[in-house]
Structure 1
Amino acid sequence: MPSPSFRSATLAAAVRTSLADALALVLPVECAGCDLEDVALCEGCRGALAPRATRRRLDDGVWAHSALVFEGVPARVIRCLKEDGRTGLASPLGRALRAAVRAAGPPEGAVLVPVPSSRAAFRRRGFAVTPLLLHRAGFRGIPLLAPHRVTADQRGLDREARAANVSGSMRVRARHAEAVRGRPVVIVDDVLTTGATLLEAARTLRSAGFTVVAAATVAATPRRTSGTHR
């Protein structure tokens, strides 16, 4: 039998969905996944966000677990959240993230640490994507990482350029570090592309004495070469 907390979360999700659909009748919208009119996210596109967990080994041996493939409907919905500010989409994406975190199998006492948004991205959007997704997933993230320097837009950069772009881009917040010192860490982000950002986050945390046990993302870009681990 589902637990009371699970039933409460399910009811809350249903209420949010009903409110979003009702609002769509007043303020016409299009489905984020297929452009169907008068619905924020149609049933078919909701189904396309059903988690199908995969995993990918990062260069230093940490496994990154992802719930969706970043193409088609999932890619469109994530872009609508990030580029169009449609924060109502964070709920179905948060459910996918919850599946990825569970697939990562965090040990007892592990803390979930979101990859920080750049200052420019935060100013542009007005919110931080990954902490919002963690909240909608029902988890409490610890803002252990903060931006340290300005980086370029990662889009269009190859693996080596991405790694160089994010090198030294994060720092550990001392105040938060003392509160969770000694606890294992799962790094959380929205999309896994080359893994450069997650690896830099892991390097930064390890340099401060933390043990990174896994990573979790909503989605991962499809692998076009051999070596994909599922």
Structure 2
Amino acid sequence: MGAAEHLAALLDLALPASCAGCGVVGVGWCADCAAALKVGPVRVRPRTDPGVPCWALAPYAGPARRAVLAAKERGRRDLAAPLGLAMAYGLARLRTPDRVLVVVPAPSRGASARRRGGDPVLRMARAAAGWLPDCRVVPMVRVWWGVRDSVGLTIGERQHNLRGRVSVRRGPLASLPSTVDTEVVVVDDVLTTGATARESVRALRAAGVETSAVLVTCSA
């Protein structure tokens, strides 16, 4: 055993991994919790309609909810791989054959991403794309400065908070393949009111990009 492997083994003994979904010791994401995210995607209808079909891998409860919170709030970067694999299953079921799939992560506030050590939705999207043929991740949607964290906001406050404050980066937009052979799906971790999804779809449409669907890990 090399020095790196020996150190990793010692760390596992001192700080054993636990499943983010159920807490079982010895694995970061167990098979039972992984199975809970492979049932969908299921069609959901948020209170704020983004104008395209919305799909979720699971309800915002149980292992899925705990995994999302662990990735967002507790720095569990290791969850990008299993959550990305679950997202890949969902995308594979939704995509149109023989078309290039473009995955657009929903926008995140810069302060939130920095606090979390990076954007967990972007990490998940990139992990998902790694499992799919003819799939690209294009992080081209952003929120303007001054947008508040949505936690604790009412439906109306969430809508007002984001209305007109989501835009498309021109650089990534220029890298898109031909729209004739491209299918665009917006992905996110949680769908609550649908305000973020609606503004993302609106901003993409205003930039000449039509979205075919929204896919999230959980729907609240």
The bucket for the TM-score relative to the shorter chain is: 0.7 to 0.9
For residues 129-208 of structure 1, the aligned pairs below 5 Å read: 129-137=120-128, 138=130, 139-180=135-176, 183=179, 184-208=183-207
Moved more, 83-92 or 135-144: 135-144
Separation of aligned partners in 2, 1:47 and 1:24:
25
Separation of aligned partners in 2, 1:30 and 1:218:
20
User: Any conservation in 1 of the 2:50–2:199 contact (CA below 8 Å)?
Assistant: no
Separation of aligned partners in 1, 2:215 and 2:177:
21
For 1:62, give the aligned amino acid. V
Q: Which segments of 5 or more consecutive residues in structure 1 lack a partner in the other structure?
A: 1-19, 222-230
Cα distance, 1:35 vs. partner?
Answer: 2.4
Q: Deviation string for 1:126-167 (max 9, x for gaps)?
A: 111111001211253102212322222212222222111111
User: 2:66 pairs with 76, 88, 105, which one?
Assistant: 76
Percent of matched pairs sharing the same residue = 36
User: Any conservation in 2 of the 1:21–1:40 contact (CA below 8 Å)?
Assistant: no
Separation of aligned partners in 1, 2:18 and 2:194:
32
Q: Which segments of 5 or more consecutive residues in structure 2 lack a partner in the other structure?
A: 1-7
Cα distance, 1:195 vs. partner?
Answer: 0.9
Gap change, CA 1:73 and 1:111, over 3 Å in 2:
same
| Counterpart secondary structure, 1:180 | coil
Separation of aligned partners in 1, 2:214 and 2:85:
16
Q: Deviation string for 1:15-47 (max 9, x for gaps)?
A: xxxxx9996445323321222334323343333
- In structure 1, the residue matched to 2:20 is 32
Computed over aligned residues only, the root mean square deviation of the Cα atoms, in angstroms, reads 2.4
* Number of aligned residue pairs: 202
Higher relative contact order (CA 8 A, sep 6+): 2
Cα distance, 1:177 vs. partner?
Answer: 1.6
- In structure 1, the residue matched to 2:32 is 44
Gap change, CA 1:25 and 1:214, over 3 Å in 2:
same
Gap change, CA 1:63 and 1:123, over 3 Å in 2:
same
Gap change, CA 1:50 and 1:213, over 3 Å in 2:
closer
Gap change, CA 1:25 and 1:204, over 3 Å in 2:
same
For residues 191-230 of structure 1, the aligned pairs below 5 Å read: 191-221=190-220
- In structure 2, the residue matched to 1:114 is 105
Q: Calculate the TM-score normalised by the size of structure 1.
A: 0.78
Cα distance, 1:57 vs. partner?
Answer: 4.2
Gap change, CA 1:81 and 1:88, over 3 Å in 2:
same
